[in-house]
């Protein structure tokens, strides 16, 4: 049996990543994720990320490199998460009931989908490297 490809987007802006709260299925409702979805037949991962974010968030993105390894979802699918940059638009609530921009120290403030948990530490490093410098108080 061939595994279904699923893509996720670590949408990063100003040292923060967008987390989205699921509404379905009931067993996953209330958990937070990197937005994305299934790769359709004939699509590359990059094309799927662009399409999914256009559909789910109403934004245009530029897809960068992979974040972490392939992550199995049960025995039926594999998740690949890509770093992305917002090109236009502001994320809208279409398939989710909430969004949060999380900085490196805030990643643990939401209950993530279990499959996404291994990506939080590598993501923390990416966010810390991209965070705007803090002003120095005198």
List pLDDT tens digits, range 77-109.
999 999 999 999 999 999 889 999 999 999 999
The phi, psi pair for 29, rounded to 5°, reads -60, 135
**Single pTM value for the model:** 0.88
Report domain extents, the chain: 4-115
Among 26, 56, 57, residue whose Cα is nearest residue 38? 56
* Confidence label for 134 from pLDDT (cuts 50, 70 and 90): low
| CATH code of the domain made up of 4-115 | 3.90.79.10
- CA torsion angle 113 21 34 122 (round to 10): -60
At residue 95, the pLDDT reads: 87
pLDDT digits 0-9 by tens, 1-36: 678 889 999 999 989 999 999 998 888 899 999 999
């Amino acid at each position: 049996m061939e595994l279904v490809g699923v893509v996720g987007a670590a949408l990063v802006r100003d040292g923060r990543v967008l987390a989205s709260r699921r509404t379905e299925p009931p067993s996953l409702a209330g958990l937070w994720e990197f937005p994305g979805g299934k790769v359709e037949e004939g699509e590359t991962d990059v094309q799927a990320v662009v399409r999914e974010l256009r559909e789910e968030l109403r934004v245009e993105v530029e897809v960068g490199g992979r974040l972490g390894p392939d992550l199995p979802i049960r025995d039926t699918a594999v998740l690949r998460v890509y770093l992305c940059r917002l090109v236009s638009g502001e994320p809208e609530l279409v398939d989710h009931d909430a969004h949060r921009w999380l900085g490196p120290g805030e990643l643990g403030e939401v209950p993530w989908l279990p499959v996404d948990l291994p990506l939080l530490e590598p993501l923390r490093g990416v966010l810390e490297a991209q965070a705007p410098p803090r002003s120095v108080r005198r």
